[in-house]
């Protein structure tokens, strides 16, 4: 599974109109963006997000941010204003970020910026010509294009969106009671009771407190398997078969399911209880159905007490998928939660998915996936 990448900020500049691009790179020695590590943005009506926790050092000693095959770079104009350069398919697209208070405006140059009197001297030796999708291409010497972009005044710009930034979750934040984000495979193997299992993963035991609450048969059906990247946990899968509702709750308490490297798993993507399903990407389709709304409300209330829910004679199935808010921003616009979960898994983005099914009288099967 690939490392977490949200390409949404790379989509930030292309959705702007009337902006400027060039086949010449302007920012060769980019600087680290000081506003924060994780951004949630609203650009031209679209929700996008970005992860700046993995800067890449350049040969020139600067910093860039690689997202797939695209590269973002920033250059400081002032403490609050930064030029933004996106390198994509041999073309460099430009915009600006302006810090004000707790928010950051996303700006683009107005289409007529090159003709503005205050810019004419800097634009004298640059050829401006129409490009695709309402972009204006600049042709000229790199230094002169840089001077034009760096010297632009706020009056020649327009706001096209806003971002909120925050600091990333610390690397030592707990995922479960046995694991932290930064736990390596070697460290996990030192946990008492840990052992190597298939695919090079590590299988872990329950904590002593949780193990004391399970019967020998329940312990036999329990599996806690962890995959690792070189420097951190990649994924966790916990399976418990034919356990009592009380034992299922003990296992859940043991896990904790704390945070991802982007943020807490605090946003619901999908939920199901027996025949009631809630898909957060399709809510508008049911918003006018009062009976459906009431059924969902009743189901979510029942799910607040998971042990009582599992112990109920009518219980058959519970399923939920939680993601950080930044991950939800990246999947907005997809037709369903199922499609979103497929994209989330393919990109290695964080999520927690729990499935509980009835497996016999007073018995349930529980599967939990955690990707931090």
More confident position, 177 or 257? 177
Is 308 within the bounds of a domain?
Answer: yes
Map tokens 């970005």 to a residue.
Answer: 50
Q: What is the pLDDT of residues 216-256, one digit of tens each?
A: 999 999 999 999 998 899 999 999 999 999 999 989 887 87
Q: How does DSSP assign 123-185, residue by residue?
A: HTT-EEEE-GGG-EEEES-HHHHHHHHHT--GGGEEEEEEEEEEPPPPTT-BSSSS-BTT--H
Pick the more confident residue, 15 or 314. 314
Same domain assignment for residues 89 and 158: yes
3 found inside a domain: no
Look at residues 240, 275, 252 and name the one whose alpha carbon lies nearest to residue 363: 240
**Tokens found for residue 319:** 């399923």
Domain interval for residue 66? 9-166
The band of 276, judged by pLDDT with boundaries at 50, 70 and 90, is very high
Q: Per the domain annotation, does 73 fall within a domain?
A: yes
pLDDT recorded at residue 11: 45
Examine the pLDDT at 4 and tell me if it is beyond 70.
no
> Quick one: 138 and 198 in the same domain?
no
Indicate the number of domains in the chain.
Answer: 2
Inter-CA distances, 263 with 161, 167, 238, 335, 350, Å: 22, 9, 21, 24, 9
3-state helix, strand, coil in the chain (%, to 5): 25, 35, 35
Residue 2 placed within a domain? no
Residues 36 and 157 in one domain: yes
Q: Same domain, yes or no, for 150 and 268? A: no
Give the pLDDT score at 309: 95
**Are both 221 and 158 inside the same structural domain?**
no
Q: Are 307 and 361 part of one and the same domain?
A: yes
- For residues 238 and 293, membership in a common domain is answered with yes
List, in sequence order, every residue forming a beta bridge with 106; answer none if it has no partner: 97, 161
Running DSSP on this structure, what letter comes out for residue 68? T
Better-predicted residue by pLDDT, 52 or 341: 341
Residue 1 is assigned to a structural domain of this protein: no
pLDDT above 80 (res 120): no
Say what the pLDDT of residue 164 is. Answer: 87
The 10s digit of each residue's pLDDT in 13-44 is 444 445 889 999 999 889 999 998 888 888 88
- Tens digits of per-residue pLDDT, 129-160? 887 767 889 999 999 999 999 988 898 899 98
Q: What is the average pLDDT score of the chain? A: 87
Examine the domain organization and report whether 240 and 93 are in the same domain: no
Residue 297 lies in a domain: yes
Rounded Cα gap, residues 6 and 331, in angstroms: 10
Is 175 domain-assigned?
Answer: no
What's the pLDDT at 118? 59
- What is the mean pLDDT of the segment spanning 71-75? 93
221 occurs within a structural domain: yes
For residue 98, give the H/E element and its range: strand 91-100
Residue range 96-116: mean pLDDT, rounded: 84
Provide the whole-model pTM.
Answer: 0.70
The count of other CB atoms within 10 Å of the CB of residue 188 is 19
pLDDT recorded at residue 97: 95
Are residues 52 and 86 both part of a single domain?
yes
Mean pLDDT, residues 49-60 taken together? 83
Q: Residue 8: its pLDDT value, please?
A: 43
């Amino acid at each position: 599974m690939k490392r977490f990448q949200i390409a949404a900020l790379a989509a930030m500049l292309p959705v702007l109109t009337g902006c400027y691009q060039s086949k010449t790179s302007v920012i060769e020695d980019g600087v680290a963006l000081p506003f924060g590590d994780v951004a949630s943005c609203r650009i031209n009506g679209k929700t996008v997000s970005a992860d700046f926790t993995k800067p890449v050092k350049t040969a020139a000693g600067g910093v860039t941010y690689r997202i797939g095959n695209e590269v973002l770079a920033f250059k400081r104009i002032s403490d609050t204003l930064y030029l933004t350069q996106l390198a994509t398919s041999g073309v460099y697209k430009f915009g600006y970020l302006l810090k004000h208070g707790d928010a950051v405006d996303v700006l683009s140059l107005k289409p007529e910026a090159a003709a503005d009197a205050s810019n004419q001297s800097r634009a004298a030796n640059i050829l401006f010509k129409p490009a695709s999708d309402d972009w204006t291409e600049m042709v000229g010497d790199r230094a002169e294009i840089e001077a034009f972009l760096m010297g632009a005044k706020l009056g020649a710009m327009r706001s096209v969106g806003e971002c909120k930034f925050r600091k990333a979750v610390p690397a030592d934040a707990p995922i479960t009671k046995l694991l932290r984000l930064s736990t390596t495979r070697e460290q996990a193997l030192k946990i008492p009771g840990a052992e190597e299992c298939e695919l090079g993963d590590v299988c872990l035991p329950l904590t002593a407190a949780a193990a004391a609450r399970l019967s020998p048969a329940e312990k036999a059906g329990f599996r806690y398997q962890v995959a690792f990247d070189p420097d951190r946990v990649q994924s966790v899968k916990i399976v418990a078969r034919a356990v009592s509702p009380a034992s299922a709750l003990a296992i859940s308490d043991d896990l904790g399911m704390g945070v991802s490297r982007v943020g807490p798993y605090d946003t619901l993507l999908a939920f199901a209880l027996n025949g009631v399903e809630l898909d957060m990407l399709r809510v508008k389709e049911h918003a006018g159905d009062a009976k459906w709304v009431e059924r969902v409300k009743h189901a979510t209330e029942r799910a607040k007490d998971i042990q009582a829910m599992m112990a109920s004679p009518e219980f058959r199935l519970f399923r939920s998928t939680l993601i950080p808010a930044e991950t939800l921003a990246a999947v907005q616009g997809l037709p369903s939660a199922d499609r979103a979960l497929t994209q989330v898994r393919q990109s290695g983005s964080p999520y927690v998915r729990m499935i509980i099914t009835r497996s016999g009288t007073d018995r349930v099967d529980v599967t939990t996936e955690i990707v931090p």
